[in-house]
Amino acid sequence: MAVIATNEKGIDLLARLMRAEAEGDGELGMLMVGNVGVNRVRSNCLDFEGIRTLDDMVFQRPGGFEATTKSYFYQRAREQDRKLARRVINGERFHPAQRSLWFFMPTGDCPAQWYNQWNTGRYKSHCFFSPTEQDCPLI
């Protein structure tokens, strides 16, 4: 059962974002980026108050995703990527991104905090950061 409301256009959008941000980290890395996106829609806290749709989340300014400025993001969604997007929309979560609202690719080690959010772990090239339950109880 879906944890956020969406349609086929939203699934394609999330699939394209997941591929553009983390294809180099494989399916699991893409799923974790999807977790972050879904969490931003669900959270309604911190930098993501009022973000209610996948479209709002992907194109949020400031605070959106760098991939939306690259041509690769605008290529058609592939069915394999849509399947991954459906998995996270249906509530599958993956450590260390299960409660994360942020991720980035550092040049070295992951910092303990990023924008005052705690590091929850690294998967391949990306570090993931999660708010406290007190700050964001909905995720």
Mean pLDDT of 6-21: 98
Counting every residue written for the chain, the total comes to: 139
pLDDT value at residue 64 = 84
Query: Which pLDDT score, from 0 to 100, does residue 139 have?
Result: 87
Question: What pLDDT, on the 0 to 100 scale, is given for residue 87?
Answer: 98
Task: Report the pLDDT averaged over residues 106-118.
Answer: 94
Q: What is the pTM assigned to this prediction?
A: 0.97
* CA gap 120, 99 in Å, rounded: 9
Query: Residue 134: its pLDDT value, please?
Result: 94
Answer yes or no: CATH 3.20.20.140 is held by domain 8-130.
Answer: no
Percentage of the chain beyond pLDDT 90 is 94
- Quick one: pLDDT band at residue 1, thresholds 50, 70, 90? confident
Helix/strand/coil (H/E/C) assignment for every residue in 3-53: CCCCCHHHHHHHHHHHHHHHHHHHHHHHHHHHHHHHHHHHHCCHHHCCCCC
* CA-to-CA separations, 73 to 1, 11, 44, 99, 113, in angstroms, rounded: 27, 14, 25, 24, 28
Q: Which two tokens stand for residue 116?
A: 């005052």
* Residues 14 and 34: beta-carbon distance below 8 Å: yes
Task: Let me know: does 99 contact 130? Beta carbons within 8 Å.
Answer: yes
How far is 103 from 108, CA to CA, in rounded Å? 14
pLDDT(115) > 90: no
pLDDT digits (tens, 9 = 90+) for 17-71: 999 999 999 999 999 999 999 999 999 999 999 999 999 999 999 878 999 999 9
Residue 80 has pLDDT above 90, yes or no: yes
Instruction: Tell me the sheet residues that pair with 42.
Output: none
pLDDT of residue 102: 96
Other CB atoms within 10 A of residue 138 CB = 10
pLDDT in tens, 57-72: 999 998 789 999 999 9
